[in-house]
Amino acid sequence: MTATADRKVRSNREAGARAGGPVDSIDAAGLGRARAAGLVAPALVLVLAFLVVPAAWTVYLGVTDYRLTGIQAANPEFVGLDNFTAALADPDFRNSLWLTLLFVLGSAIVGQTVAGFALAWTLRTVPKLVRSVVETLVLLAWILPSSIVAFLWVAYLSGDGGTLNAMLQTSGTEWLLEHPMASIIVFNTWRGTAFSMLLFSAALGAVPPSQLESARLAGAGAFAQLRDVVLPHIRGHVLTNTLLISLWTFNDFSPYLLTAGGPNHASETLPVFIYNKALYGGQLGYGSAISFIMLLINLVIALFYVRLLRERR
Amino acid sequence: MRTRSVVGRLALVAFLAAVLAFWALPMLWLVTAPFDSQPGLDVSWPDWTLANFQKLSENPYAFSSLQNSVYLAVGTMLGVTALAALAAYSLSRVRIPGRNGILYGLLLLSSIVTGTAAMVPIFQLMFQLNLIDDRSGVILVLTGGLLPAAIFILKDFMDATPKSYEESARVFGASPTQVLRHVVLPIVRPGLATIAVWALVNVWSDFLTAYILLRDPAKIPAGVVMYTFYSEGGQANLPLISAFSLVYALPVVALYLFVNRRYGFRFHGGIKS
């Protein structure tokens, strides 16, 4: 880092000296620190206002009994850690935490990782046309607006003439009401596999074909090849992928569009729980305490991720 | 060995068929229902008609919501691209005090403070600022949310472009503004395009931010308006929803096809992560 910077300084000095210009500039375009800071400032102000302030505000609101309406709306009182102890004692919150864990485990760590890897692995060898058709479908599921895909799944799983029932001959099964968690887990696997597929495709592209070839010549089966040749090469990618998709799935709001957390809290993951409690139910203080717990969990995942990035640089 | 390869082949075909069915079946409705004279929730060969689009064009909120989506998406895209470019360039080329701390903080922030985790304080903040039901407020929140990741990606991109062009332009007496406009901007254009497309698609798909910050039906964007298309009896208005979904999806599909044809939609081997 410093070595590069020093070299930059030196070459700039030389350039400046040759041109007879100012010698004090250390940057290529000759911005100078003050102007550079001025260019960074607008972005930082926005980030500060709409990310840092809200994060800090979560902490403040979380220790008050703030509500959307009523007396507590006018002058909220400091209640200390009451919201947090209330949350830990709230069966709905514990239920929601458990459902979120299931959702992340089922749809991200198992569903998207396995489907993404299986797709990346098999699509290497299939004809180009098949490959691009499959990739396009998987990618569209990922990039289409969430309102549309949510409605597509509501229609697909509907008990009133939905396509899934027509195919399985299970007429009248309301999947979203009878199996809400399974439904949103399958939905999110469908929705998010594209990222894992792309990442593993790139990772597999970096595995030297010669090593795979020699393993095959040595009589290694597909499983042995995967375990002994491929896995050591892509271990870092697997970890990166797991952390990122866990983070995104943990913060995903689309279950709300499918089940709104119901029936009777049966699919109320944390983001939906916060929405229902704070913005729908008006308990802003309590909702903020839960948000703060969410921020902490995000922080833990993000710290792992950043450490991983630093190690690889 | 031979039977094994036949079995392997069959397994591969079965797997691909299952994959195709799994991903395609839920999407088929988007292609059939809009053209059906009486769309239901099932996928069936449509009784071809364009009447649903006729109904859509008569709906007062369908068109305005798409306009709102364009306004939010373009506004946020311009804000994110411009501010991120300036910040990323300065952070890449100038050793501003505390630079590493800023970058580290941005990387953490972008993953920690998500729309869902921060929806309560953001609602609260916008309420205090009197920006509820204000589209500029939505643009500000979305811009603030997308900026950290955009700065990070662009800074990586700028680090990888050579400084020698800027240095020679300086040697020939160009002012910093001229260097930025005529030398740096053309070089980093692909990076800016990436960020622009990424921001567009993100905002076009956004549901939550607009859902919690906008109330007036004339101001809500396409992602939210879909959930107001119900008949008096509380039934989903399928002719309207299906036709609207298709119109709302088309720009994303078009953008995907364009990007895929032009650049190829994949991460390249040299991906950092």
H helices within A48-168, ranges in order?
Answer: 53-62, 71-74, 82-89, 91-103, 113-122, 128-143, 146-157, 163-168
**C-alpha to C-alpha distance for A22 and A25, rounded to whole angstroms:** 7
Shortest CA gap A162–chain B (Å): 5
Give residues with Cβ within 8 angstroms of A5, minimum separation 6: A26, B95
A86 and B146 in contact (C-beta within 8 Å)?
no
Average pLDDT over residues B70-81: 96
Picking from A44, A45, A50, A117 by the largest number of B CB atoms within 10 A of its own CB, the best residue to mutate is A50
Partners of residue B197 in chain A, C-beta under 8 Å: none
Q: What is the ipTM of this complex?
A: 0.87
User: Is the minimum CB–CB distance between A138 and chain B shorter than 8 Å?
Assistant: yes
pLDDT at B116 over 80: yes
Give, in order, the Cα–Cα distances in Å from A49 to each of A44, A112, A210, B90: 8, 34, 53, 21
What pLDDT, in 10s, does the model give residues B2-24? Answer: 666 888 889 999 999 999 999 99
**C-alpha to C-alpha distance for A138 and B256, rounded to whole angstroms:** 12
CA neighbor of A256 nearest in space, from A103, A84, A90, A105? A103
Three-class SS of residue A123?
A: coil
Give residues with Cβ within 8 angstroms of B127, minimum separation 6: none
Partners of residue A240 in chain B, C-beta under 8 Å: 273
**Confidence at residue B187, expressed as pLDDT on a 0 to 100 scale:** 85
User: Is the minimum CB–CB distance between A101 and chain B shorter than 8 Å?
Assistant: no
A35 and A51 in contact (C-beta within 8 Å)?
no
| CB nearest B83 (choices: A26, A42, A118) | A42
Partners of residue A219 in chain B, C-beta under 8 Å: none
What's the mean per-residue pLDDT of chain B? 86
Which of A 9-38 lie inside 8 A of B, CB atoms?
Answer: 11-12, 15-16, 18-19, 21, 26-33, 35-37
pLDDT at B56 over 80: yes
pLDDT truncated to tens, each residue of chain A (313 aa)? 334 444 444 444 444 444 433 433 356 667 788 888 888 889 999 999 898 898 888 888 888 888 777 766 777 778 878 888 888 889 999 999 999 999 999 999 999 999 999 999 999 889 999 999 999 999 999 999 999 999 999 999 988 888 888 888 888 888 888 999 999 999 999 999 999 999 999 888 888 888 888 888 888 887 888 888 888 888 888 888 898 899 999 999 999 999 988 888 999 999 999 999 888 888 888 888 899 999 999 999 988 888 887 776 6
The encoded tokens of residue B249 equal 């999806």
The count of CB pairs under 8 A between chains A and B is: 317
Which of A 35-64 lie inside 8 A of B, CB atoms?
Answer: 35-37, 39-40, 42-44, 46-47, 49-55, 57-58, 61
Q: Please, what is the end-to-end C-alpha distance for chain B in angstroms?
A: 38
**Confidence at residue A26, expressed as pLDDT on a 0 to 100 scale:** 52
Partners of residue B171 in chain A, C-beta under 8 Å: 15, 18-19
Shortest CA gap A65–chain B (Å): 14
**Confidence at residue B2, expressed as pLDDT on a 0 to 100 scale:** 62
**Confidence at residue B229, expressed as pLDDT on a 0 to 100 scale:** 83
Question: pLDDT band at residue B226, thresholds of 50, 70 and 90?
Answer: confident
Other beta carbons less than 10 A from residue A53's beta carbon: 17
- The secondary structure element, H or E, covering residue B117 is none
**Confidence at residue A313, expressed as pLDDT on a 0 to 100 scale:** 60
**Confidence at residue A8, expressed as pLDDT on a 0 to 100 scale:** 42
The encoded tokens of residue A150 equal 């949510």
Q: Identify whether A263 is preceded by a cis peptide bond (ω within 30 of 0).
A: yes
User: Is the minimum CB–CB distance between A198 and chain B shorter than 8 Å?
Assistant: yes
pLDDT at B269 over 90: no
**C-alpha to C-alpha distance for A258 and A191, rounded to whole angstroms:** 13
- The secondary structure element, H or E, covering residue B119 is helix B119-128
**Confidence at residue B42, expressed as pLDDT on a 0 to 100 scale:** 79
**Confidence at residue B9, expressed as pLDDT on a 0 to 100 scale:** 86
- The secondary structure element, H or E, covering residue B268 is none
Which of B 116-175 lie inside 8 A of A, CB atoms?
Answer: 116-125, 140-141, 143-145, 147-148, 151, 163, 166-167, 169-173, 175
Q: Which residue of A has its CA nearest to B82?
A: A43
Percent of chain B with pLDDT over 90: 37
What pLDDT, in 10s, does the model give residues B246-259? Answer: 999 999 999 888 88
The sign of the dihedral angle between the CA atoms of A280, A282, A287, A291 is positive
Question: pLDDT band at residue B211, thresholds of 50, 70 and 90?
Answer: very high
Cβ–Cβ below 8 Å for B26 and A153: yes
H helices within B119-237, ranges in order?
Answer: 119-128, 135-159, 164-171, 176-178, 185-205, 208-213, 222-225
User: Is the minimum CB–CB distance between A178 and chain B shorter than 8 Å?
Assistant: no
Q: Which residue of B has its CA nearest to A145?
A: B205
Q: How big, in percent rounded to 5, are the helix, strand and coil portions of chain A? A: 75, 0, 25
Which of B 44-73 lie inside 8 A of A, CB atoms?
Answer: none
Question: pLDDT band at residue B231, thresholds of 50, 70 and 90?
Answer: low
Residue B16's identity, in one-letter code, is L
B90 and A44 in contact (C-beta within 8 Å)?
no
User: Is the minimum CB–CB distance between B30 and chain A shorter than 8 Å?
Assistant: yes
What pLDDT, in 10s, does the model give residues B145-171? Answer: 999 989 988 888 888 878 888 888 888
Picking from A46, A187, A259, A274 by the largest number of B CB atoms within 10 A of its own CB, the best residue to mutate is A46
pTM of the model: 0.86
Average pLDDT over residues B187-191: 86
